[in-house]
Structure 1
Amino acid sequence: MRYSTYFLGCRVNQAEIEFFEDKLLKLGFEPSKDGKADIIIFNTCAVTNKAEKESYRLIRKIFATNPSSKIFITGCIVPLNKSFINQVKERIVQDNEVLKKNVDNIYIIPSTQKEKVIEIIEKEIIDKPHFDSLEISPKFIQRSKYYIKVQDGCNHFCTFCIIPYTRGRSRSKPVEQVVNEIKDICKNIGNNSDFGAEITLTGICLGEYGLDINTSLAKLLKAIIPYIPENARVRLSSMDLITLDEELIEVMASSPKICKFLHLSLQSGSNRILKLMKRNYTIEQYLDIIDKLYKTIPDLGISTDIIVGFPTETEEDFNLTLEAAKKAKFHRIHIFPFSFRPYTFAYQKMRHIKIDHEKVKEFEKKLMILSLEQSKNFITERQGKEYDILVEEGGYGYTHNFIRIKTNVDKVNCFVKVKIDGIEEEKGNFAVAKGLVTLPV
């Protein structure tokens, strides 16, 4: 039997898809090469209105070309409230008679119950006894990039965000389980200098790791670092600034195996808007911590998320955001036009407020220009500096602080040492550096 997997959105969704793929391989499934499969799993995204619409569009496209397949829909378009699940099915099939006829082939699984995907496949499709959903399956495919989900859910309930309503409260994977997964992956990576790998720890609120099990992200890093071979490194996915603590900063600064890069969402540079968003920090607090990070962690790179067009945002508010982004020296800015999301405070209390979409486009354009400018500055300041990069297809790779570099290396999935030699090209809101290879790592 064959399977296909799809995902939209964050690194957590990608990590979950890799988990499903490993489980299916262990159960004897083979990956589809043409998109047609017996089992299809789609991990959706609903963090913005655009992402939700794209999720439904892809679901209908997949289902239309695979009407007899068993299709599992999970991720953030699936609300935790069971009474809404049928609405998801209704929206998928709409008025399409073929889809209506095969609607029983669709399984809608909430994000907090993803293990049920494998349970259903075992019990109803291949009739095999269920194994523990927390069992560590071997990594069947040697990859250069691995994503391990160590945390899920969120306790913050920012007024614009749907995630707590689709993924539930924050919860952490036990340290022992993460260590076992790391050991498993590192066996697959080996110590071959001709092969390199990067392991990314992911979570919806990664910095909250351990709050529910009496530990911390810093302690988790200390537990896994001894098992990381010389030809591998660890990267952290996005987190909230308020979850950074002294111990985590010290571990990042002192360990050469941890990439010196952080993605710390700002969302706005206006204290008035931050308060409306319920972000739990002021811009002054944010910039103070950013300044400390730059002083403590050598050669640190920082990127961020910013929302434009939050209800009642004015030109003055936006200018404060521009100023904050300049002071923080982000070398990449991810820009999200605001959209009302169901269940959220903003949706319930503010959706009567009209959004000036032309003004939002103007704000977005200004941030794009600033992001590109600061990306180029970050590269130029490191002209002539040497970095180890993990080479991917096309000769591209990333430094530890997340500069994308183009080289003329033919091999892939290996580390090489390169010297930054100016700017190779511009890609939307960030620049790509030119790298001169000096020697393999």
Structure 2
Amino acid sequence: MSDSERIVIIGASLAGAKAAETLRSEGWDGQIVLIGNETELPYERPPLSKGVLLGKDKPNVGEVHDQAWYDENNVDLRLGVEATAIDTNARTVTLSDGSQVEYDKLLIATGSRVRKLDVPGADLPGIHYLRTAQQSQALTDAYAAKPRVVVVGAGWIGLEAASAARERGCEVTVVEPQSTALAAVMGEQVGELYADLHRQHGVDLRFGTGVEGFEGDDKVTGVRLSGGDVLPADLVVVGVGVQPNTELAEAAGIDVADRESGSGIVTGPDLQTSVPGVYAAGDVVRWDHPLLGHSIRVEHWQNAKDSGAAAAKAMLGQDVAHDAIPYFFTDQYDLGMEYAGDVPRGMSYHVVLRGDPASGAYLAFWLSDDNQVLAGMHVNTWGAIDAVQDLIRSKKTVDPARLADSSVELSEV
């Protein structure tokens, strides 16, 4: 590509910003247009449900770069404007202000949006979702009054929101239709360890029940459960997952996986979509993972960083196979956790614990039926995640008894 060519990035997200950064660090001096529908500079989302909710950080703590970086690196950053259409034949992107931008290569990094509850009263003031910097700041401000908080959903966002609320002195109840916390992503055995953590910190957990609606006139005052009970609430946090923003790509004729297949813009290992010259990165991409051997979509911070950089290199013609092991982390109370790997939906597995969870420091591994390590995490056992990833990459059959034995080095399992 020459310096007269233009790469357009839809999504001024972490993935989009990392792609722009990588294009410049790899020496490309062509035009870059980075388009974002938020007004804030591109930022990382993890602090929004951690340090910001605790009142320790400002929402801009996660800014990828300051404005000077975009200016100095000749990145045409267009904030507060949305891409409304892609014409892959004309190679143009239409924006919400009526303008059009031509591209030679295009990266779609449109991310995800929160799933919203469609129940009576869902639009009452006092009901919060947590995805953007503005939403995080609004919730942080609301926590300051120490309200009675009901969290709907015991996934990662729900549990982090509950943890922050408790640490700030709020009374907290968590409502979850599954049998325990994180059951869908970690299984009941490990999920129950997280449930116990929250019980120990005074959170009232209501598992096996859903939400029928919200009560209140000018603001939310209660959460009506599927059994008919009403939980008093001054504030509600809804964390019931996200859905990838694939509509723009689908309307342009770019292949998108259906919901049964896990959604996402479909690409190969090089993150190029079904349309030559169009790539995808971040939450929105479902790519063929060359190491794991199946397609995967990852909604976490590390993948946004890694896939944005990988897509940039692929757009420059480099031989790219995006094979990073999925990774994420959480901080709740005095628990710090890092997780790596992937357990495909519907796959049978068994869990091996290494160390005593009662001690507050342990590891957990998810093994296939033939004892290959699919995923692993550590809790307050810093320095272990590299060895966990090595086990996943090795694809070797392990002895569960040796894996559980803390006296055996992970490299020797």
TM-score (norm 2): 0.28
Larger RCO (CA under 8 A, 6+ residues apart): 2
Hey, which of these two has a bigger chunk of strand by percent?
A: 2
